[in-house]
A and B are shown apart, each in its own frame.
Chain A
Amino acid sequence: MDEIFGIPIPLLFGQLLLGLINGAFYAMLSLGLAIIFGLLNIINFTHGAQFMMGAFVAWMLLSLGSADAARIGLALLLLPLVVLLLDWLWLKLRLAQPIRLGLGVFVSAAWIAACFLENGGPVARALGAMFPNGLSYWWALLIGPIVVGASGVLLERLMIAQLYKLDHLYGLLLTFGVGLIIEGIFRNEFGSSGLPYRIPPELSGAWDLGFMFMPVYRGWVVLAALILCLATWLVIEKTRLGAYLRAATERAELVQAFGINVPLMITLTYGAGVALAAVGGVLAAPIYSVNPQMGVNLIIVVFAVVVIGGMGSILGSILVGFGLGVVEGLTKVFWPEASATVIFVIMAIVLLTRPAGLFGRA
């Protein structure tokens, strides 16, 4: 059998492919981070927690009929979405800002209190009664990003928006803290041993590629990530909305002077970045263990990807995401012990030689 450095070539091909799959996750998550950083100048350290929330929403949807915790958890996670929709309605009704705020607080308090009633309260019970068999993976792919994205929008409006005047560091500290709190709450509610989530039947099975066994699901992950990355890139580079976004990144005041609602655009951008993280979480649920720490390890690597690609560079984070996945995959063959470190070594080298990152502008 042919070998390269003592490693059989089929094995090497297999590892390249596996690296690409992991790279798909890196690319998807770093894309969200890069968009958020590009426009908001916020290093979103809540990203890992939002990725984890995506996976948990998938589990909750599937277990609506069978687990109390799933019903109650989903009822609570729906709250941001409900608040946002009601607020939009009140805005249409031309209610004054203080009244909207008061109503929002009241609805939230009532909703949360209701979730602590016997059997999870009316919302949780209704969810359980409507979907006794739970909602499948495909629904999760749709609902997960919406629910988690809504929570992101609320987070941006209520907290992050207060920090734009200040140094980057404050945004980093805030999002880091919020991420820790979210993870703590999930750990408290669901424990840390993880929850079972199976590969959807439509995507189970595997192709025999000769040199390796390729699970259908992993192929789907790469495909989905490529589509998402390409779509995001097209929206930002080729559409009018993307042009506004890029313009707002450069000179927000000027764009606003042209009558474009920049604060709304910023909020929605954050929501979209968070939704990308949630899609990643749903995609990850069937292959990684669904547990509150699942985002912690990933977020550090993804942050390194963004730094190497150049802070805020969309194309950079996509290419570097896939590229580093491959590098990591190869390291797992040649020097497994170093596979968790190699990305940071590359980050250090890139920072020393090109401080703005490979695709960033100084």
Chain B
Amino acid sequence: MNATTPVPTRRRLLATAGVAVGASLMPMAPKLSRAQAANTIRIGVLNDQSGIYSYLAGVDGVAMVQAAAQEFGNRGFTVEILSADHQNRPDVGSNIVRQWVDRDGVDMVIDVPTSSVGLAVNQVMREKNKAYVNVGSATSDLTGAQCSPNTVHWVYDTYMLAKSTGGATVRAGGDTWFFITADYAFGHALERDTANFVRQAGGRVLGQVRTPFPGTSDFSSFLVQAQSSRAKVIGLANAGGDTTNCIKQAAEFGITRRGVKLAALLMFIQDVGALGLPTAQGLVMTESFYWDLNDRTRAFTQRVRGRLARNGVPNMVTAGNYSGTLHYLKAVADMGVAAAKASGVEAINKMKAMPVEDEAFGRSTIRPDGRRLIPSFLFEVKKPEESTGAWDFLKLLQTTPADEAFRPMTEGGCALVRS
């Protein structure tokens, strides 16, 4: 062997491997020169990519942000997209966001499902003065007690779900309720908002049970407790696999056959797929986006569905990721990259000032407290014989117009509004 060639010693191999591993652990952020960096907007997509909520958006949520950035094109600045898995843990989520802002120069964070994580990131983004478009979290506290000038809340919240699904159920005669609630910020908010509607409509809440999250797969005990309360409606203040497990097991224990109604307060079209129409038929659910709603949403779905790796069709969260990214980029183009990078509050203010328009949701506006106003749609799950093809799952029951769908700004207790 030639003496001048570097001999790959064991130690060097180890060092190389160590560097490679270290590099692969870092979020994907290519190092750019200063000049380039000044003209680049960095968007961080933070969501659940491996756990119970990963099907809501997950990698498909990232793909939809990329779709929006690509369609937006290059209007004098480049867009870079980072993504990470927050594992539904607030500590993990806020750490990633801190690193993104401090080390990688991220200007905007989008998605962030799981309300506990969504609220934790809300604090960090305010402290760092960056823009935060929350799509995936449900808690209405994001535009209420914990509202922030750095935050907009994009497609839905617990109040909207409670008003649409809860209101319709009470009107249909379901005036006594028992809640099965996921024991964290989201479940509590959904239960609270729904219980308010039930009481306002003259109904009564007979009890509730808080189930550990994550980590509960058997809900039969809770369902039997709910049934023995003699409530007419069991409100499921949970989401994802928790909801589908509850519905499956309620059918198994004959609870629905005995005339007790289930109100799945947050359900996505993918949940219907997981249950299958024979089990899910007849359930009512509220969405702000359905792929088969009108020509506009069908065209949108046709255009983007090739990008979805796991979900057959976009749901309101993936569609919201697209729409939120597009609107943010429009605001950046309008105000200039430098100004947008300098202040998250200014970028959010610009977003609020501009009318929102895209193919997924049509036209909409954003309120001073950060709430985007869009209509909510109450759907019923079709019977198997009514469905004509894959993902043809829902029929529209009623529409709540944008100005009535969400909590009035004065009732939210948002400090931005009072001042």
B16 within 8 A of A: no
Which of B224, B258, B274 has a CB less than 8 Å from the CB of A18? B224
Q: Find out whether the CB atom of B52 lies under 8 angstroms from the CB atom of A340.
A: no
In residues 232-260 of chain B, which contact A (Cβ within 8 Å)?
240-241, 244-245, 248-249, 252-255, 258
Q: Find out whether the CB atom of A195 lies under 8 angstroms from the CB atom of B274.
A: yes
User: In the complex, what distance in Å separates the CA atom of A294 from the CA atom of B240?
Assistant: 13
Q: Find out whether the CB atom of A289 lies under 8 angstroms from the CB atom of B212.
A: no
Q: How far is the CB of A293 from chain B (nearest CB, A)?
A: 6
With A11-B228, A196-B276, A336-B209 as contacts: A206 and B254 at CB distance below 8 Å: yes
A361 within 8 A of B: no
A341 within 8 A of B: yes
Q: How far is the CB of B183 from chain A (nearest CB, A)?
A: 5
With A191-B55, A193-B55 as contacts: A333 and B225 at CB distance below 8 Å: yes
A177 within 8 A of B: no
Q: Find out whether the CB atom of B253 lies under 8 angstroms from the CB atom of A206.
A: yes
User: In the complex, what distance in Å separates the CA atom of A14 from the CA atom of B55?
Assistant: 34
Q: Find out whether the CB atom of B241 lies under 8 angstroms from the CB atom of A291.
A: yes
Contact with A along B163-195 (1 / 0, CB 8 A): 000000000000000000001000000000000
Q: Find out whether the CB atom of A336 lies under 8 angstroms from the CB atom of B222.
A: yes
- List A contacts of B58 (CB < 8 A): 192
- List B contacts of A340 (CB < 8 A): 212, 215-216
Q: Find out whether the CB atom of A298 lies under 8 angstroms from the CB atom of B217.
A: yes
User: In the complex, what distance in Å separates the CA atom of A337 from the CA atom of B252?
Assistant: 24
B51 closest partner in A (C-beta): A293
Q: Find out whether the CB atom of A341 lies under 8 angstroms from the CB atom of B212.
A: yes
Q: Find out whether the CB atom of B50 lies under 8 angstroms from the CB atom of A8.
A: no
Q: Find out whether the CB atom of A289 lies under 8 angstroms from the CB atom of B276.
A: no
Q: Find out whether the CB atom of B248 lies under 8 angstroms from the CB atom of A289.
A: yes
- List A contacts of B254 (CB < 8 A): 206, 213, 215
Which of B210, B253, B275 has a CB less than 8 Å from the CB of A215? B253
B211 within 8 A of A: yes
B210 closest partner in A (C-beta): A337
B380 within 8 A of A: no
- List A contacts of B50 (CB < 8 A): 184, 187, 192
A198 within 8 A of B: yes
- List A contacts of B249 (CB < 8 A): 287
Q: Find out whether the CB atom of A297 lies under 8 angstroms from the CB atom of B248.
A: no
Q: Find out whether the CB atom of B218 lies under 8 angstroms from the CB atom of A288.
A: yes
Q: Find out whether the CB atom of B224 lies under 8 angstroms from the CB atom of A212.
A: yes
In residues 269-325 of chain B, which contact A (Cβ within 8 Å)?
270-271, 273-276, 278-279, 310-311
A206 closest partner in B (C-beta): B254
How many of B's residues come within 8 Å of A, CB to CB? 44
- List A contacts of B210 (CB < 8 A): 336-337
Which of B55, B212, B217 has a CB less than 8 Å from the CB of A294? B217
Q: Find out whether the CB atom of B311 lies under 8 angstroms from the CB atom of A191.
A: yes
- List B contacts of A288 (CB < 8 A): 217-218, 245, 248
Contact with B along A174-211 (1 / 0, CB 8 A): 00000000001001000111111011000000100000
- List B contacts of A213 (CB < 8 A): 227, 253-255, 258
- List B contacts of A198 (CB < 8 A): 276, 278-279
- List B contacts of A339 (CB < 8 A): 211-212, 216, 221
User: In the complex, what distance in Å separates the CA atom of A101 from the CA atom of B402?
Assistant: 66
B50 closest partner in A (C-beta): A187
Which of A8, A206, A217, A336 has a CB less than 8 Å from the CB of B228? A8
Which of A18, A184, A195, A293 has a CB less than 8 Å from the CB of B52? A293
User: In the complex, what distance in Å separates the CA atom of A287 from the CA atom of B248?
Assistant: 7
User: In the complex, what distance in Å separates the CA atom of A14 from the CA atom of B311?
Assistant: 38
- List B contacts of A149 (CB < 8 A): none
User: In the complex, what distance in Å separates the CA atom of A198 from the CA atom of B209?
Assistant: 27
Q: Find out whether the CB atom of A187 lies under 8 angstroms from the CB atom of B252.
A: no
User: In the complex, what distance in Å separates the CA atom of A14 from the CA atom of B223?
Assistant: 11
Q: How far is the CB of B145 from chain A (nearest CB, A)?
A: 23
30 residue pairs A–B, Cβ–Cβ below 8 Å: A11-B225, A15-B224, A22-B218, A184-B50, A192-B51, A192-B52, A193-B270, A193-B273, A193-B274, A196-B275, A206-B254, A213-B227, A213-B253, A213-B254, A287-B252, A288-B217, A288-B248, A289-B217, A289-B248, A291-B241, A293-B241, A332-B222, A333-B225, A336-B183, A336-B209, A336-B212, A337-B211, A337-B212, A339-B212, A340-B216
Besides A192-B51, A193-B55, 9 other CB < 8 A contacts?
A11-B225, A184-B50, A191-B55, A193-B271, A193-B274, A199-B252, A294-B217, A337-B210, A340-B216
Closest 10 CB pairs of A and B: A196-B276, A340-B212, A193-B55, A194-B274, A191-B310, A332-B221, A193-B270, A192-B54, A340-B215, A192-B55
